[in-house]
Chains A and B, each alone.
Chain A
Amino acid sequence: MNTLKSKSVIRSLAYIPFLLMLFFIQAAILPRVPIFGVKAQLLPLVVAAAGVCGGVISGGVVGLFAGMLMDISFNEPTIVYTLVFCFLGLFIGYLCDTILIKRIPTYLLMSVLALAVSGITELIKAIFALGAGVAPMLWISLFEGIFSFIFALPVYLITRSIERIE
């Protein structure tokens, strides 16, 4: 029991700098290097990775904190992403604990899901808040997803290393 607790503590401690690093890259570096005017999002990827590698608990907890950081990185005082990512992490973790095999193809599929959920959330927020047309925003979401997907593998490998800490 104590070993299990200490493992969880070590993993949590390892996740903190990793999440902060992703937040730093997403909030401070990527906005300065947009591709076709679009910025990549890294935090949805870590939610998918934690759900796939660590299961429902890791997915939920990492989702919660990644969502909080996502809200902060958007300079918006809302908790939309905090809630969405928490549920997303729980959902992916549940799927991987019950039906899916915890392998890279599963992760890639789940990262596409996470990026899609993130894009749709932003899209819905924009449509409700701005009343803007859907077509131009869909293109932005699509570019965002493609650009973000480039970072999928490194995020997965680091998350898997954290989850394998003994």
Chain B
Amino acid sequence: MKDIVTKKGIIIAAIAVVIALVAAISIGITSGRADLATILSEPVFTPVKSVMTSVVGTLENIYGYLYRYDELAAENERLRARVADLEEQYREYSEVSEENDRLRELLDFTSRHSDDDFDLEAVTLISWTSSNFASSFTVNRGENSGIAVGNAVISSGGYLIGTVTSVAATSATVTTVLDTTMSIGARLYSSDDTGVVEGDFNLFRQGKCRLGYLEFGSNVVYGDLVVTTGRGGEIPSGLIIGYVDSVLDNPSGNEYAAVVRPGAEFSTLANVYVIKSFEVN
């Protein structure tokens, strides 16, 4: 009996296994979802795999931190270098762009004044005076380049800066309109009222000068253009000196005066033009 049970049991068990296998295979084939090995191993290995994946992931992170640190640092360094390179390119671009603007301005200036028959000499500013009572600078061209005392000096924007007050063979001193020794015939562009632009100690340090000797009743307006009259023949007429910044209170009772803000930006001057000769219209 014992033998029979045992044999029967084995047979039944074997049949059950075969049926289960067939059923499993048939399910797998019909649904197309998994193969037999997967089906058989899934209940056992999935949790194990999950744990293993988690452990491996953690180990991989640690490995990455430990062994890829140098690689990341090197990459970081490469990216930093790239950023620096791009920044440098941007700076160069900005400089080129500014130079381009300046050259356009120059070109525009030259074309605007081509009819005036100005004989211009481009000069470079060497140094400003150290004196606190004067406003002058030295330029790198002089007598050898045809520059003479009295020549007007203008900025690339066409604004009057001053005149040449002393000249050597290869250098010249330019005294600006702010200097208290300067005195230039000027007129208000809108009203044609004439006066004299001169340096003033009280305005000197503010970078401004004074338009005096305007007739009583002159129409002085804030922002009005102040241009040269050209009287005397040394400075061409119509050069812009600056703009009316404010009107001074009636200084002497029978004349008007105004504060003039020069058109040229003196603190950033680098290249200027000396008008060596011009046609008087």
Q: Which of B115-135 contact A (CB under 8 A)?
A: 127-134
Asked if residues A28 and B133 are in contact (CB atoms below 8 Å), the reply is no
What would 5 more interface pairs be, CB under 8 Å, given A31-B129, A75-B166?
A38-B205, A75-B129, A75-B131, A75-B173, A130-B181
- The reply to whether the CB of A122 lies closer than 8 angstroms to some CB of chain B is yes
Known pairs A75-B129, A122-B131, A140-B133; A37 contacts B205 (CB<8 A): yes
- The reply to whether the CB of A132 lies closer than 8 angstroms to some CB of chain B is yes
Q: How far is the CB of A30 from chain B (nearest CB, A)?
A: 7
Asked if residues B130 and A41 are in contact (CB atoms below 8 Å), the reply is yes
Q: How far is the CB of B139 from chain A (nearest CB, A)?
A: 10
Chain A residues, CB < 8 A from B173: 75
A38 to B201, CA, bound (A): 12
Known pairs A36-B205, A75-B137; A27 contacts B132 (CB<8 A): no
- The reply to whether the CB of B202 lies closer than 8 angstroms to some CB of chain A is yes
Q: Which of A75, A125, A143 has the most CB of B within 10 A?
A: A75
The listed residue (A41, A122, A132) touching B201 by CB distance below 8 A is: A132
**Residues of chain B at the chain A interface (Cβ within 8 Å):** 127-134, 136-138, 166, 173, 180-181, 201-202, 204-207, 267
Report A116-135 CB contacts with B as 1/0, cut-off 8 Å: 00000011011001101100
The listed residue (B130, B137, B180) touching A132 by CB distance below 8 A is: B180
Q: How far is the CB of A63 from chain B (nearest CB, A)?
A: 17
A27 to B166, CA, bound (A): 18
Chain B residues, CB < 8 A from A123: 133
Report A57-85 CB contacts with B as 1/0, cut-off 8 Å: 00000000000001001111100000000
Q: How far is the CB of B175 from chain A (nearest CB, A)?
A: 9
Chain B residues, CB < 8 A from A125: 133
Report A4-37 CB contacts with B as 1/0, cut-off 8 Å: 0000000000000000000000111011100011
Chain A residues, CB < 8 A from B131: 39, 74-76, 122
The listed residue (B129, B205, B206) touching A73 by CB distance below 8 A is: B129
- The reply to whether the CB of A136 lies closer than 8 angstroms to some CB of chain B is yes
Q: What is the chain B residue whose CB lies nearest that of A31?
A: B128
A126 to B131, CA, bound (A): 10
Report A136-166 CB contacts with B as 1/0, cut-off 8 Å: 1100110110000000000000000000000
